Amino acid sequence: MNKQTNKQTKKQTNDPIKVGFYVEASDSMAAVEPWEASIDDARLIGVHLAAMYQTGRHRMPSPVWCVWNQKEYASIFHLDDKPRSEAFLNHVLTLMV
């Protein structure tokens, strides 16, 4: 199904969770919003968004959806199921602020 990349650190923090899309055309994050539910809920939504995206009936800003907080973790969901390079993933991580 979809691919997900997780980057986690050992230090636990209470930093707020954010969600958003990486838009390659502008090389920026778009539709960034605070996430009030748990990280597990966000990851489940990522799987759901992938299914929606792959039907072709739903418009989204980008096929790359991200969930992160400032220090503890980041997940990058490839909604279109296309492989991405490690360099691409690391670049997207730098934009998650």
Q: How large a percentage of the chain has pLDDT more than 70?
A: 86
With tokens 């730098």, the residue in question is 94
Pick from 48, 11, 18, 12: nearest CA to 36:
18
Chain center to CA of 33: 12
Summarize pLDDT for 53-74 with one digit per residue, the tens: 999 888 899 999 999 987 778 8
Q: Any idea where the domains of the chain sit in the sequence?
A: 3-95
According to DSSP, the residues that pair with 5 across neighbouring strands are 76
Residues 6+ apart with CB under 8 A from 52: 58, 60
pLDDT at 1: 44
Rounded to whole angstroms, the Cα distance separating 62 from 29 reads: 10
Per-residue pLDDT tens for 21-42?
A: 999 999 999 999 999 988 889 8
